[in-house]
Structure 1
Amino acid sequence: MHGIVKKYYENQPNELEILHGIDLKIYEGEFVAIVGESGSGKSTLMNMIGALDRPTEGNYFLDGEDVSTLSDERLSEIRNQKIGFVFQNFCLIPRTSAVRNVEVPMMYAGIPGKQRREKALELLDMVGMKERASHKPNELSGGQNQRVAIARAMVNDPSLILADEPTGALDSKTGHLVMDIFHKLHKEQHKTIVLITHSQELAKETERIITISDGNILSDVGGEQK
């Protein structure tokens, strides 16, 4: 990211600038935490990283492609193919089984039914949820739903996993189990993981901690210079 500025109500009397020129480089295979209090700008920054919103100024390159200049259609493809999302509230489809929930991104990618089912079961097995594949979200605990969400995030082998407060709705023991899965993905599959959190304790489990305050990067600690 180079000079990322995000303004709302641009050129209006109530114009609001949330991000004030963010410069940020995250390398392939890193496990990074972006930490900030409520109102710090971390959610806005997450939306930029996830290609969910566009910067007002600046450039964002993902895998060498300038995401900030792309059409809505191409942005949708980027989100489907290159970014795996894990949210605090799971974002699962309520009346659909775990295995079907994991299959959803593959349906958008045009992958045939049998292949989708095999891949979904394989990923549920990876997060310890294969035995619960036919259960719907309301039949699963919070930690189990989050594991299903992680499996879904992995279906298209994304370049980047973006996790927004992934343990926020869980008790501490379950939260640790979920974090163990992220560590496994990082160590065994060398996934690039960006964790958005307000928790310093959670951030300390990562290799590098970027602290954001009032729309600016306050500090950037850890990680290897490459």
Structure 2
Amino acid sequence: MSGEKKPIIQLRDIVKTFYIGQPNELEILHGIDLDVYEGEFVAIVGESGSGKSTLMNIVGALDKPTQGSYWLDGIDMTAAKDSELSALRCRKIGFVFQTFNLIGRTSALKNVELPMLYNGIGAAKRTARAKELLELVGMEKRMNHQPNELSGGQKQRVAIARAMANDPAVLLADEPTGALDSATGRVVMDLFHKLHKEQGKTILLITHSRELAAECERIITIRDGCITGEVKGGMAQ
């Protein structure tokens, strides 16, 4: 898949240690090296406690590594100040979480507009793009509904539309079907495949499900804070 494409994500010797200098000091990640290329659909698979959530927090710029370097879309994220990281997260990364993380008492439309508001995009442009994205995920008829009026699958589709709001370099999906039944989860996974195929989105799927991972182009296995394997998935040509 790499070919002439450039790496969107470059991780080199990523170490993450907690409680540094204390008796309970704990190293969770032990020198992770990983490249994810533009337009790839990659799964990171691991059991609970494998370090995949810690790795996701670093890739998502929610946390910084103790050691190593991280480049996202040509930007050195490890050198960025905390104030810069927030703006970079908003522009470069679209998050989709297992728990949806929608804002209650706020319409689906306004939820999708929010990242654009933080990015300084004007009201008319925000609304137009939010409507376009809700249509893309099949939620145009529910755009004025609040989260408590939506099913789990509908909430996740709104969350995917929100993740796409600022046209991010990477979609980071953390167990996106984990709170859904299998039929609804299938709809959500099909939507990720659509975004990958039709919009050329780079998608990093964090999952414990080998079945879902098998649908991706590349499967990275993480265990005890180390990458222990890499295989091609069912999408690989």
Short-chain TM bin: over 0.9
Q: Report Cα offsets for 1:59-83 as digits up to 9, x if no partner.
A: 0011111101110111011110000
Alignment length (residue pairs) = 225
* Distance in 2, Cα, partners of 1:54 & 1:197: 21
Q: Does 1:144 align with 2:154?
A: yes
Match of 1:171? 181
> Separation in 2 of the partners of 1:126 and 1:87?
19
User: Matched residues in 2 for 1:179 and 1:79: separation?
Assistant: 23
Q: 1:126 pairs with 128, 132, 136, which one?
A: 136
- Helix, strand or coil for the counterpart of 2:155? helix
> What letter corresponds to residue 157 of structure 1 in structure 2?
D
Distance (whole Å) between structure 2 residues aligned to residue 100 and residue 66 of structure 1: 32
User: Which residue does the alignment assign to 2:203?
Assistant: 193
Could you tell me which residue of structure 1 aligns to residue 4 of structure 2?
none
DSSP-derived class of the 1:23 partner: strand
Alignment of 1:30-179 (within 5 A): 30-179=40-189
Structure 2: which amino acid aligns with 1:133? M
Does 105-114 or 142-151 show the bigger shift?
Answer: 105-114
CA RMSD in angstroms comes to: 1.2
TM-score (norm 1): 0.98
Between the aligned partners of 2:121 and 2:88, the Cα distance in structure 1 is 16
Q: Which runs of no fewer than 5 residues in structure 1 stay unpaired?
A: none
Which of 215, 220, 227 is the equivalent residue of 1:210? 220
Does structure 1 residue 12 correspond to structure 2 residue 31? no
Note the alpha carbon deviations across 1:63-115, whole angstroms, 9 max, x for none.
11110111011101111000000000000001100000000001101111111
Who is 2:37 aligned against? 27
More deviation, 69-78/32-41 = 69-78
Q: CA deviation at 1:35?
A: 0.3
Q: Which runs of 4+ in 1 moved over 4 A?
A: none
**Is the partner of 2:206 in helix, strand or coil?**
strand
Give per-residue Cα distances to partners, 1:162-183, cap 9 Å, x unaligned: 0000000000000000001100
| Percent of aligned pairs with the same amino acid | 68
Q: What is the distance in 2 between the residues matched to 1:64 and 1:81?
A: 13
Q: TM-score scaled by structure 2? A: 0.93
